[in-house]
């Protein structure tokens, strides 16, 4: 533990005074100071000038990262008949209808993404209080309520990231692993920031992006130069 403490202290020291850096500089810091014994996740947080309590200021969407997330995503699908079979062939981990609803109601949520065909929504709707707080509720706006189950499952498995602004107007997500190359991480950061920029709601006034920061799972964070990250 003492050795890890020294590494963490050294990592924090390396980040002192490093504010508003370029995406390339931030990635270099992340990769060179990810000191954990496991492959740390690289995370991004974007502070927005919005109040998600107002419908016209909600920021929500999805983005397919060019290099995936490096995470194995478990997908649950609510479907029947041919669509259930389509989900299984596409690689869904859990497929069902009322039986899956009962499993979720029982407190077992062994999945990271939930997809449903439109006819399943009366069933899925009963799980709002369980799935909603975990940001797992299927939604047609982000393609998780759909008849194209194959595409939705493959997108989820392939590194698609869903995002949603929290109460404080912050959007955060994992955008790769420390083992990714610098180029892969840079491309993922830029793709994520671009998606957030394009998701600017009509009700957003003034400065939209207030701060962007990245960090590794166990490391300190560093803020990005917003102009560099957005290409402006």
| CB contact at 8 A, 59 and 165 | yes
- d(C-alpha 194, C-alpha 31), whole Å: 22
The predicted structure's pLDDT at residue 17: 55
Q: Are 215 and 34 in contact (CB under 8 A)?
A: no
Computed on alpha carbons and rounded to an integer, the radius of gyration of the chain in Å comes to 19
The pLDDT score that the predictor gives to residue 14 is 59
- In this structure, the number of other CB atoms found within 10 A of the CB of residue 5 comes to 9
CATH code for residues 18-69+161-230: 3.30.190.20
**pLDDT score for 167:** 86
pLDDT for res 123: 96
Beta bridge partners of residue 164, listed in sequence order? 60
CB 204 within 8 A of CB 58: no
Q: So what's the pLDDT on residue 102?
A: 96
Same fold, 18-69+161-230 and 75-157: no
Locate the domains of the chain by residue range: 18-69+161-230, 75-157
What pLDDT is stored for residue 15 in this prediction? 65
Which residues does 15 contact at the CB level (< 8 Å), separation at least 6? Answer: 29, 33, 219, 220, 221, 222
pLDDT at 183: 97
Decide if 135 contacts 63 (C-beta within 8 A).
no
The segments of the chain whose pLDDT lies below 50 read 1-4
Instruction: For the domain made up of 75-157, give the CATH fold.
Output: Rossmann fold (3.40.50)
b/e code 8-28 from CB counts within 10 Å (16+ = b): beebeeebeeeebbebeebbe
């Amino acid at each position: 533990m003492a050795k890890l403490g020294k590494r963490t202290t050294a990592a924090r020291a390396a980040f002192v005074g490093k504010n508003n850096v370029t995406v390339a500089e931030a990635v270099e810091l992340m990769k060179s100071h990810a000191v954990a014994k496991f492959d740390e996740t690289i995370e991004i947080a974007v502070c927005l000038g919005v109040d998600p309590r107002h419908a016209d200021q909600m920021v929500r969407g999805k983005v397919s990262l060019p290099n995936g997330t490096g995470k194995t995503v478990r997908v649950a699908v609510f479907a029947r008949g041919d669509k259930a079979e389509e989900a299984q062939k596409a690689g869904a981990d859990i497929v069902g209808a009322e039986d899956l609803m009962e499993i979720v109601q029982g407190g077992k949520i062994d999945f990271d993404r939930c997809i449903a065909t439109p006819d399943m929504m009366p069933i899925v709707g009963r799980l709002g209080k369980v799935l909603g707080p975990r940001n797992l509720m299927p939604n047609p706006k982000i393609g998780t309520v759909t008849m194209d189950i194959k595409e939705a499952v493959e997108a989820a498995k392939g590194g698609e990231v869903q995002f949603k602004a929290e109460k404080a107007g912050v959007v955060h997500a994992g955008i790769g692993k420390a083992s990714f190359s610098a180029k892969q991480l840079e491309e993922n950061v830029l793709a994520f920031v671009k998606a957030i920029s394009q998701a600017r709601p009509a009700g957003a006034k003034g400065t939209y992006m207030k701060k962007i920061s990245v960090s590794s799972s166990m490391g300190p964070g560093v803020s990005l130069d917003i102009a560099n990250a957005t290409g402006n």
